[in-house]
Structure formats: C-alpha cells, structure tokens
Structure 1
Amino acid sequence: MAHRVLSLLLVLLLLSCGKDTIRIKPEKKTLVASVYASALVQPDSLYAVYSSVAGILDKVFVNEGDSVVKGSPLFQIYNKTPELNRENTKINLQDAREAYKGSAAVLEGLREEIHTAKLKLQNDSINFKRQERLWQQEIGSKAEYDIKKLNYELSLNNLNVLQNNYERTKDELRNKVVKAENTYQAAIVSTNEFTITSKINGRVYAIYKNIGEIVTTMEPLASVGSLDDFLIELLVDEVDIVKLKPYQKVIVNLDAYPEEVFEGRVHKIYPKKDERSQTFKVEAVFETAPEVLFPGLAGEANIIVSEKENTLTIPLEYLIDNHTVKTQDGPVNVEIGSKNLTEVEILSGIDEHTDIIKPKQ
C-alpha cells in the first residue's frame, strides 16, 4: 500500500515538473510596436452649415448626397424686413446722389444766389471805383463815397458767405452719399445673408431642417464636406499620445471591410484632450483606401510607433515583473526595450541560445 502511494506521489511530482518545464528560446525577428486607436472615417473639410440670421426656412436648393460648388446656394431664409430695408436704403441713396449732383433745389438755389451775388459785387465794385476816383479829385461828397464803399464791402462779404455755404453744403451732401452707399451695401449684405451658400466644393452629407421650420443661429442646417477626400479620425488614449508624431504609419481595419486592411499616415495631432473620454483626437490620411467610403464608417487602427528588425524577443508572458525571466539555472535579470501586446525586446541578460521557462500564471 505504501509502495502504491509513493508511486502516485512520484507521478504527480513528475507531472507537476512537466508543467513548469514548458520552455522556449528567444528569437530574432522584426518587433513592431504600435498604439491602438478607435477609427472613424469622415470627409475632409467637413463643416456644419449655420445661418448667421434667424427666420423661417423658405427654400432648400439641395438634397442629401448632392455635389455642390463653392458659392452655390443651399438654403433660403424668409424674412421680409431686410428686403424692405434694402429698398428704403436704395431710395435714400438715389435721393442723396441727386442732391449731390446738383439737380435738387438745394445746390441749384445756392448757385443762383452766388451768381446774383457776383453780379451785384461787380456792379458795386464799379460804382465804388468811380466814386473813389471822383473823391480823389475832390468831386462829390464824403457820404456818397462811404455809401459806395460800404455797398462794395457788403457785396464782397455776402459772396464769400454764399461760396462758403455752398462748399459746406456740397461736402455735407457728398458725405450723405457716402453714408447712403455704405448703408445700402450693408443692407445688400444683410439680405444676402438670408441666402446660405456652400463654402467649399464638395457634397451635402446631411440636412437637418425642413421647409417651414424656424431657423436660428445656434442650430446647424446641414453638413457639407469633401466629395472624394476622406480622413480617418483616431481616438488615442492619453497614456499613448506622447508616442505619436506626424507621418507615422497607420494600419486600419474597417467593420465594413472585415477581410481587408488599409494603410494611412498620421496627418495631424490635436493637442487638447477630451475630458469626457480621456482621449486625444488624431487625424490620418489614407495611403491605400477602399473604393467606396461613407462618412461614419467605424473600425480599429494601430499606429506604428517603432519597427525594429533582427531584434531578440520573447513572448511577453515569459517576462516576470518587467525585469526577470526564469531559466533552468534559476531567475535571470534582463534589460528590456520596446514591446507590443504580445512580445518584448531583450537588450541584455540572455541570448538566443538560452532556454527560458514559462512562469506559472
């Protein structure tokens, strides 16, 4: 009986030792380290279309999926007030121009007064000069001389006053024309704001309002983006963002194409963290892309942060506490380098001839 128990214990011991002696040798291979990110396909230059004015949506000139060119109309907002203001400012501008050109009574009347004043000055000047010569010859009275002189001076002063008044009135009318033109141009701009146009050559991807609905400046009317160029929006965990830089290679798997792999490059890294998701936004551009893409296609991506050839590696599960491996001669300290989800680079401590043992889980 004791002999059977001893035999059973030996078998169990051997089995136990067999589990502990699963061993491998380090291998030299290309070690690829990457950062995981969720991926979302979006059109390039995608923007939300807003109205700068409030009103009622009167017309929709496009449908979802339509291609548009820069400046083409998308929506018409109804509001009668700006149109009336434009017509009123146009009338005011016409009146101001007529007054400035002189066909109105204001400047024409002033010109006639100046003409009359010039004739009177000419007459008073002749009379004064004649009386002055007579007085120098001691002909006539001093009173007559003084009256002729006073009439001449009054006529000269009156002409100066009229001419100054004419120039001042002309400047005022010219300024009124400028102000009326500015007001009219502002009214045109205000009216044009009720017709919303596309900012880019692209495609209408969504329309959020129907004819007859109230339009405000706070709600988007549509989404417009590039027709053919798409970006990959990547959300990267904050612990990995420091590993990224522009032009790194991106491997993309899209749910819509489960059997295919696509490549891209990091294009832009946004510096602000999303506090809700604790992630950073990164944009990548396709180098190899599907023939058909739609906004919102989702998937996963791996951003290649390092790629080392002929590197001594071991499976990550054989590493203990990030610095030790188990060998037949006992624990050995190692120096590690890059690693990915499954493998780690060994810089020193063991070589490709060392047997390492898988530790117990």
Structure 2
Amino acid sequence: MKKKILLISAAVLVVAGIAAVVYWKRTPEITYKTARIERGTIVSTVSATGNLSAVKTVQVGTQVSGTIQKLYVDYNSRVKKGQAIAEIDPSLFNASVEQSQGNYLSAQANQQKAKVTLADAERTLARNKKLLAEGIISQGDFDVAETAYQAAQAGLRAAEGSVAQTRGSLMQSRTNLRFSVIRSPVDGVVISRAVDVGQTVAASFQTPTLFTIAQDLTKMQIEVSVDEADISRIKLDQKATFTVDAYPEQTFQGRVVQIRSAPVVTQNVVTYVVVVNVDNTDLKLLPGMTANVSIQVAVKEDVLKLPPVALRFKPKTKEAAQPEVKRQGAPASEQAKGMRRGKGQQVYILKDNKPVAVPIKTGISNNTGIELAEGALKEGDEVVVEQQGGGDGKKKQGGGGSPMGRPF
C-alpha cells in the first residue's frame, strides 16, 4: 500500500514538473494597443521663462550729497510728476546760498565803484585834452590821464566779470538747494525704496538709486530667454500665453514686440531675449513675477494628427513586416526612397495582427499631436502605440527564478 502511494505521489510530481516547464516555456500572447488618427488643429509653441517688469521704469537718484531728512512716499505710493518724494537736510545748501549771495552783492558794489572810477577818469581825460590843446599842460600830464582812463576801463571789465562769476555761483547754490528736495520725474507708482530717514547719500560719478518708479503698471512686459535653436521661429507680433505661480489656473495673453539680437551666453548656452508685452489692466500681475511663456510659432487647422507616442513605437519581435502600405500610385522602391528622404520616419499599423511599417513625413507638432504631412494613412486609421506581451522568451525564462527576486 505504501509502495502504491509513493508511486502515485511520484507520478503527480512528474506531471506537475512537466506542466511547470510547459508553463514557463510557453510563448506569451502578443497584443497591440492602437490609437486613432484624428483631424483637428495643431498649435506649435516655443516655451521659455522670464520675469515680469513694467514697460517704463525710472530710477530716481540724487544730484547732491547729504543726509535724508524727510521721506514723503513709501512702497506702492502713487506719485505725480514734480511731487516731492524725499528731502535732504538743506542746512549746508542754505548757508552756501547766503555766502554766494554776499559775494554777488560785493561784486555788484565793486562794479558800481569801477563805473564811478571810469567816469572820473573819462572827465579828467577830456579836460586834459583841452588843456593840452591850449598849451597849459604838458604831453606827459595828458598821457597820465589817458593811462588812468584805460586802467579804469579794464577795472570795470574785471568788476563785470566778477559779477558774472558770483552770479553763477549763486545760481549753482540755489540749484543745489532746489535739488535737496527730490521730486518724481514722472507719474507712476513707487515699486522700490532704497533709503531711510537719517541715511547719508553721496552723489558721485555714479548717482545712487533712491527710488524706482514704474510709470504705468497697467502695461507690463516679459523678457524671456529663448534658446538659439528656437529663435529662428520667433517673429514679431506672434501671440503668447503665459502663467504665473500666483495664479496657476489662469492663463494670460501677450504679444511679441521685440527680438533682441544681442546674445546672452550663460555656461556656454546661447540664448536671446524676446520681449512680450502684456495688458495688466486688472493689476493682478506684479513686477518680478516668474512667467512660464508659450509663444505660438505656427498654427494649422484641419490637419491629420498623430499621437507622439506612435513615432516612438518599435516592435519587440522580429516578425514585424517591412513597409508594405504604398502611397497612392507609388511603387515599393519609390516608397523606400521616400523613407530614406524622410530620415526614417515611420509608424506601424496592424495587418493580420502583425505590425507593418508605414513611411510618413511629419510637420508641426506640440505635446498632444504631430501633423501628418505625407503618408498612406487617413483619418480614422489605427496606429500602434504599444506592444503587450512577446519579447525574448529566454529573458523571461531566465528572469523567473524566484518570485521574490534574484537569489543572493
């Protein structure tokens, strides 16, 4: 009895082993996932990032040195042209005006004195001229009077020069006093303030920036960096859309207004600055925000659209057929040449449940579709996008040693 049980157990084990070998060596069933070719619109875009800024910003500095005594505006303050926005301590400037005023008055007095001296010398010269004609005085006395007259003329001109010089100094002192009150050069909004009360500012060769005023925040721009490979596709007046992190669910509109020719090289990467103008009537956008911009470089309507994954599909088995689907009226040899001209672009369709290569030529593309420009496909055809099952059976057999993974 025991012998019989042992024989039955051995037979069961043998059958189980044979079944396991057959199971592991069986060829898995191959299936293909397909996608339909549709007709629609394709919008090709170039993506780039940049920062928002006001179209016109003015950096306000100071033309005189001194200590900030008063501040009349702060961040986000709206200002008018000519409005006082800060004041530098005017004490030294007032003293300079007083000194220049005194020098000017003194020069005017000297000028008046020189005029009196000249008039006296002129009268003396006229009188000595008559006396010389009558023989009362000598020629020497007349020469002395003439020399005094010429000296008086020179003295008057020197006094006039002194008056002009001191008048200029007075004007400069008054101008410096006027510059001690810093005024807004434009209408706008203060977006930056770099000083506080009590801070000393120095006007030198490079004027310090105290305030930055945006002239009109309802009109803004984005300076985006476009890669050199895409810059040839950017044209003026192209439409652009962008998003900002502050409003991730809202898409804003813009338009390309400038393409700058100067290259920007960063770590051996060459980019070009493209300026996109933006309407900010609702004032949602603020200077400095990072914008993710998509510039529309091409739009085609009513074209055949291929799913991008179809071009990346390659059969895993060797049974895939060579190109058999011909273009209208084209022999197979010509079709093969067409594949070579198209740099090997092809997709696969199912024929007798086997993938068959179809040469194609593509046009513009985006993330969701690629234009089918040439090829023997039409709307509604199914192209292969994925293979399930199949592959190298030996790999499957070798990789199935343990359900827990490879043994140590």
Give the TM-score taking structure 1 as reference length.
Answer: 0.77
Query: Equivalent of 1:224, from 194, 208, 213?
Result: 213
Partner of 1:13: 28
Whether the 8 Å contact between 1:117 and 1:155 is mirrored in structure 2 is no
Q: Deviations over 1:169-212 (max 9, x none)?
A: 23222222222222222223333333222121011223232211
**Partner Cα separation in structure 1 for residue 263 and residue 175 of structure 2:** 36
Distance 1:30 1:193, change over 3 A: same
> Is 1:340 the equivalent of 2:366?
yes
Partner of 1:255: 245
**Partner Cα separation in structure 1 for residue 76 and residue 247 of structure 2:** 22
Query: Equivalent of 1:266, from 216, 239, 256?
Result: 256
Secondary structure class of the residue paired with 1:169? helix
**Partner Cα separation in structure 2 for residue 155 and residue 346 of structure 1:** 115
Partner of 1:356: 383
Q: Deviations over 1:242-281 (max 9, x none)?
A: 4323322111223333333221112334435263796544
> Is 1:120 the equivalent of 2:128?
yes
Distance 1:97 1:269, change over 3 A: farther
Q: Which one scores higher on RCO, CA 8 angstroms, separation ≥ 6?
A: 1
Q: Deviations over 1:79-112 (max 9, x none)?
A: 6444333322222222223333x2x2x3312321
Whether the 8 Å contact between 1:93 and 1:180 is mirrored in structure 2 is yes
Partner of 1:137: none
Amino acid at match of 1:222: F
Distance 1:45 1:205, change over 3 A: same
Partner of 2:278: 286
Distance 1:359 1:174, change over 3 A: farther
> Which range moves more in the overlay, 298-307 or 162-171?
162-171
1:145-156 to 2 correspondences below 5 Å? 151=138, 153-154=139-140, 156=142
Amino acid at match of 1:285: N
**Partner Cα separation in structure 2 for residue 25 and residue 334 of structure 1:** 16
Amino acid at match of 2:256: V
1:1-361 to 2 correspondences below 5 Å? 13-14=28-29, 17-18=30-31, 21-78=32-89, 80-100=91-111, 102=112, 104=113, 106-125=114-133, 127-128=134-135, 151=138, 153-154=139-140, 156-217=142-203, 220-239=209-228, 240-270=230-260, 271-273=262-264, 275=266, 280-287=272-279, 290=282, 292-320=284-312, 323-328=344-349, 330-353=356-379, 355-358=382-385
**Partner Cα separation in structure 2 for residue 161 and residue 279 of structure 1:** 78
Whether the 8 Å contact between 1:44 and 1:231 is mirrored in structure 2 is yes
Whether the 8 Å contact between 1:324 and 1:331 is mirrored in structure 2 is no
Q: Deviations over 1:314-358 (max 9, x none)?
A: 122222497422323633443333222333223223432554322
Task: Kindly state the Cα deviation for residue 231 of structure 1 after the two structures are TM-superposed.
Answer: 1.0
Secondary structure class of the residue paired with 2:248? coil
Whether the 8 Å contact between 2:52 and 2:290 is mirrored in structure 1 is yes
Q: Deviations over 1:205-237 (max 9, x none)?
A: 232322112324565323211244231324324
**Partner Cα separation in structure 2 for residue 225 and residue 249 of structure 1:** 25
**Partner Cα separation in structure 2 for residue 22 and residue 279 of structure 1:** 41
Give the TM-score taking structure 2 as reference length.
Answer: 0.69
Q: Give the alignment's Cα RMSD to 1 decimal.
A: 3.3
Partner of 1:142: none
Distance 1:9 1:325, change over 3 A: farther
Task: Kindly state the Cα deviation for residue 58 of structure 1 after the two structures are TM-superposed.
Answer: 0.9
Amino acid at match of 1:89: S
Whether the 8 Å contact between 1:319 and 1:325 is mirrored in structure 2 is yes
Task: Kindly state the Cα deviation for residue 38 of structure 1 after the two structures are TM-superposed.
Answer: 2.7
Identity %: 19
**Partner Cα separation in structure 1 for residue 40 and residue 291 of structure 2:** 28
The aligned length equals 331
Q: Deviations over 1:275-305 (max 9, x none)?
A: 3796544432224754544334444221111
